[in-house]
């Protein structure tokens, strides 16, 4: 006797229907609760993001050759003799790092071995780093309190606080708090994690630049200008962003064009002062070193400009940007989104100006100094995607108000 029972097809369909309805109901309930408390969830997401980044920087600090230069500059007043400064700086890292990591840092290749064995060669490299004046000054001031490595971590923690506060405020003011997790994911895709634990000025620079740009978007021009000047004091190449902002404001006839002109003029004054206080090694030797070939010493290194060397470095770093970093792919996506917004979505002058400026400043910086590392382009890309999101969501909201039956994304996302 066959006792196998065949489940009716209608019963199988009923189970699938029940599962589908249960999923839809739970999804709708989750969305309703999330959107109702979007500000709370947004702030909580950013606070959690900030805490995780700071804690991971404490647990897994990043050390690289650049940290040798910055810590040496912070202690230069204590050790005017380059041999003593060299011994102190390498001694700090030897005490802090496991033996295998210190060996890689000090003897990993011919360049590092020369710096480790020749104090004069090491000293000749410091000019490329001393132009990051504000970061070096903060290290110098904070090292007696926190210790050399602790000072670098404290600066990065402060940068994280600036970034978290500016993101939270902007998302709340634009009614985009529900999108905070997406903004956080975007920052990680732009490789924020590669600078958040390293004792280098790039995290502070990007935090100040992002805060400045978000304040400009809200028409807080004075605060934005001050933050931009601080970003230039931390990394002088940010002056290019101030110049492009001024040009874009003129092009779209922004009413505050003179504010941007004054901000750019102030950054130029700061740049000139920094070049006087910390003259560095000059643009072309620095470009040669960073993009083409690293000489073992900068003593007497004053090569004539070579178009062949520049184009070789340009092509090599363009290649590395495609295959070793994410910023170039993100920039292409930004261009595509900008084309869509330009063709389909209206926006106000200030947002048009920012979107245009942020798209232009990235190739401008790469042409002036063709370096592949994504940390140089993080701030303009991050703010571009945030402003583009604001434009897109405002369009969705306007569309829904015009036609309540239209189901569009952005429904209630800023409540």
What is the SS3 string spanning 324-390? Answer: CCCHHHHHHHHHHHHHHHHHHCCCCHHHHHHHHHHHHHHHHHHHHCCCCCHHHCHHHHHHHHHHHHH
Q: Is the pLDDT of residue 414 over 80?
A: no
Q: 19-28, 119-128, 300-309: lowest mean pLDDT where? A: 19-28
3-state secondary structure the chain: CCCCCCCCHHHHHHHHHHHHHHHHHHHHHHHHHHHHCHHHHHHHHHHHHHHHHHHHHHHCCCCCHHHHHHHHHHCCCCCCCHHHHHHHHHHHHHHHCCHHHHHHHHHCCHHHHHHHHCHHHHHHHCHHHHCCHHHHHHHHHHHHHHCHHHHHHHHHHHHHHHHHHHHHHHHHHCCCHHHHHHHHHHHHHCCHHHCCCCCCCHHHHHHHHHHHHHHHHCCCHHHHHHHHHHHHHHCHHHHHHHHHHHHHHHHCCCCCHHHHHHHHHHHHHHHHHHHHHCCCCCHHHHHHHHHHCCCCCCCCCCCCCCHHHHHHHHHHHHHHHHHCCCHHHHHHHHHHHHHHHHHHCCCCHHHHHHHHHHHHHHHHHHHHCCCCCHHHCHHHHHHHHHHHHHHHHHHHHHHHHHCCCCCCCCCCCCC
Euclidean distance between CA atoms 102 and 122, whole angstroms: 16
Give the range among 159-163, 278-282, 320-324, 387-391 with minimum mean pLDDT. Answer: 278-282
pLDDT of the residue at 89: 94
d(C-alpha 242, C-alpha 213), whole Å? 10
Tens-place pLDDT, residues 41-62: 889 999 999 999 999 988 888 7
Residue-level pLDDT at 408: 43
Of residues 62 and 355, more confidence is placed in: 355
Share of the chain above pLDDT 70, in %: 93
Q: Identify the pLDDT of residue 11.
A: 55
Q: What is the mean pLDDT of residues 349-370?
A: 95
Q: Poorest-confidence range of 235-249, 269-283, 391-405? A: 391-405
pLDDT in tens, 193-236: 888 888 899 999 999 999 999 999 999 999 999 999 999 999 99
pLDDT of residue 230: 96
Q: What is the pLDDT of residue 19?
A: 83
pLDDT over threshold 60, residue 354:
yes
* Mean pLDDT of the 146-150 span: 91
Range 315-323 average pLDDT: 95
Per the CB < 8 A criterion, the answer to whether 49 and 184 are in contact is: yes
What is d(CA 132, CA 329) in angstroms, rounded to the nearest whole number?
A: 28
Predicted local distance difference test score (pLDDT) of residue 14: 80
- Looking at residue 413, its pLDDT comes to 47
Tens digit of pLDDT for each residue in 85-111? 999 999 999 988 888 989 999 988 889
**Residue 39, token pair as written in the block:** 């500000």
């Amino acid at each position: 006797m066959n006792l196998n029972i065949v489940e009716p097809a209608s019963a199988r369909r009923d189970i699938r229907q029940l599962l589908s309805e249960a999923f839809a109901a739970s999804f709708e309930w989750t969305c309703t609760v999330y959107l109702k408390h979007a500000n709370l969830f947004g702030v909580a997401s950013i606070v959690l993001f900030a805490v995780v980044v700071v804690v991971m920087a404490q647990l897994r600090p990043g050390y690289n050759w650049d940290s040798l230069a910055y810590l040496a500059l912070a202690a230069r007043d204590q050790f005017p003799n380059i041999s003593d400064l060299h011994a102190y700086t390498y001694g700090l890292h030897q005490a802090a790092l496991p033996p295998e990591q210190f060996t890689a840092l000090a003897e990993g290749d011919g360049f590092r071995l020369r710096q480790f064995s020749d104090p004069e060669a090491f000293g000749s490299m410091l000019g490329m780093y001393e132009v990051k004046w504000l970061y070096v000054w903060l290290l110098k001031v904070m090292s007696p309190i926190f210790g050399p490595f602790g000072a670098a971590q404290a600066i990065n923690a402060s940068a994280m606080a600036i970034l978290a506060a500016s993101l939270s405020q902007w998302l709340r003011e634009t009614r985009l708090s529900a999108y905070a997790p997406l903004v956080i994911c975007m920052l990680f895709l732009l490789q924020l994690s590669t600078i958040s634990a390293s004792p280098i000025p790039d995290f502070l620079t990007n935090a100040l630049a992002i805060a400045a740009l978000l304040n400009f978007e809200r028409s807080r021009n004075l605060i934005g200008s001050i933050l931009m000047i601080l970003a230039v004091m931390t990394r002088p190449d940010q002056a290019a962003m101030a110049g492009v902002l001024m040009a874009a404001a003129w092009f779209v006839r922004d009413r505050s064009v003179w504010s941007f002109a004054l901000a750019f003029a102030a950054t130029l004054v700061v740049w000139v002062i920094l070049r006087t206080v910390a003259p560095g090694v000059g643009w072309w030797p620095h470009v040669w070193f960073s993009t083409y070939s690293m000489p073992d010493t900068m003593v007497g290194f004053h090569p004539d400009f070579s178009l062949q060397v520049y184009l070789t470095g340009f092509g090599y770093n363009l290649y590395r940007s495609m295959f070793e970093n994410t910023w170039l792919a993100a920039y292409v996506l930004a261009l595509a989104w900008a084309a869509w917004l330009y063709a389909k979505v209206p926006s106000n002058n200030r947002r048009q100006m920012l979107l245009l400026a942020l798209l232009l400043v990235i190739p401008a910086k790469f042409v002036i100094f063709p370096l592949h590392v994504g940390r140089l382009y993080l701030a303009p890309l991050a703010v571009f995607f945030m402003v583009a999101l604001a434009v897109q969501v405002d369009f969705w909201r306007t569309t829904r108000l015009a036609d309540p039956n239209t189901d569009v994304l952005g429904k209630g996302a800023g409540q």
